[in-house]
Amino acid sequence: MRDGILVVAKPRGLTSHDVIQKVRRFLGIKRIGHAGTLDPEATGVLPLCIGRATKIVEYIQDRPKTYVAEWTGGVATDTEDQSGNVVERINGLHLTWEEVTSAFTSFIGPYAQTPPMYSAVKVKGKRLYELARQGKEVERTPRLVTIYDLMILDGNLEQDPPRVRFQVRCSKGTYIRTLCVDIGKKLGIPAHMSDLIRVESGGYHLEEAHSLEEIEEAAASGKVEELISPLEEALSFLPSLTLSKKWADKVIHGAALPRGFSHMPWQTGEKIRLVSDEGRLMAVYQVVNGEEIWAKPEKILFTEDPVDRGYAR
């Protein structure tokens, strides 16, 4: 089985863990992880890391994500999305596109977002959604997130309640349902997110995602490897450095790279991918620019350990 990324088009009604369990059964392997959770009612891109690719989950999920969402004004729910119970409603709103556009675009850039109660964020060791199900609400610390781009696609402000469909590109950890609530607050009205599709995550787009039915069929016919994007491509957004065979053998064992190893103007703290002269992704290193050490290992992705190179079944 090839190590790499299997991009799934998550359907509505399944948790991200449900998707992993199904794919594990299709492929007959356990070593699978996802790179960024999607709520059960959300659909779209869910990258799954297969085999050694589970080691690079953090690099993929740290990248910006793009969503197409629907905002509904005048109605608030306890979960901030369409799956919750209505807790507030205002009928007969009269909104203009000028004020709606101004409210939406005001969130472009960094902003402090308070995680919703129905989320997996932990407070004093407890998941917020566990407390929410007990009817409890606790104080949450706002987190700084970034909205890189936000564009209104279409909508209807004349209907009751008014709805707006928009596309947003944002940083890791951004709750789009909370963004919808905050846009409502900007307009002085209750609001919630009534639909969510993730169209891009980790550099993978909805157009290249595969349905669970397609994956099951490919696995049954022995062609599932054709759906898996190679591990070597998964970190293509990081700068690369090609190693000689001598240094590739040392990197396998986690050797640091000495000062003067590269004469490129790498910045301290920068992450680079190390590739063998055969094109195999060996490791991710971080530049430290120390007196003796130029770069140190962060993730060793190829080793001589047969267990590491294989799959737990």
* Conformational region of residue 105, where left means phi above 0, alpha means psi within -120 to 50, and beta covers everything else: alpha
Eight-class DSSP state of 111: E
From CA 57, how far away is CA 107, in angstroms rounded? Answer: 28
- What is the CA 196 to chain-centroid distance, rounded? 14
From CA 268, how far away is CA 275, in angstroms rounded? Answer: 20
**Of 15, 10, 3, nearest in space to 47 by CA:** 10
Counted residue by residue, the chain has a size of: 313
Beta-bridged to residue 224, according to DSSP, are none
**Of 171, 31, 167, 74, nearest in space to 113 by CA:** 171
Q: Residue ranges of the alpha helices (H) in 169-280?
A: 176-187, 212-220, 231-234, 245-252
Mode of pairing for the β-strands spanning 122-123 and 163-170: unpaired
Catalytic positions, written as ranges: 39
Whether the link from the prior residue into 162 is cis, omega within 30° of 0, is no
Within 10 angstroms of residue 102's Cβ, the number of other Cβ atoms is 12
Query: Sign of dihedral through CA atoms 214, 220, 221, 223?
Result: positive
From CA 103, how far away is CA 185, in angstroms rounded? Answer: 9
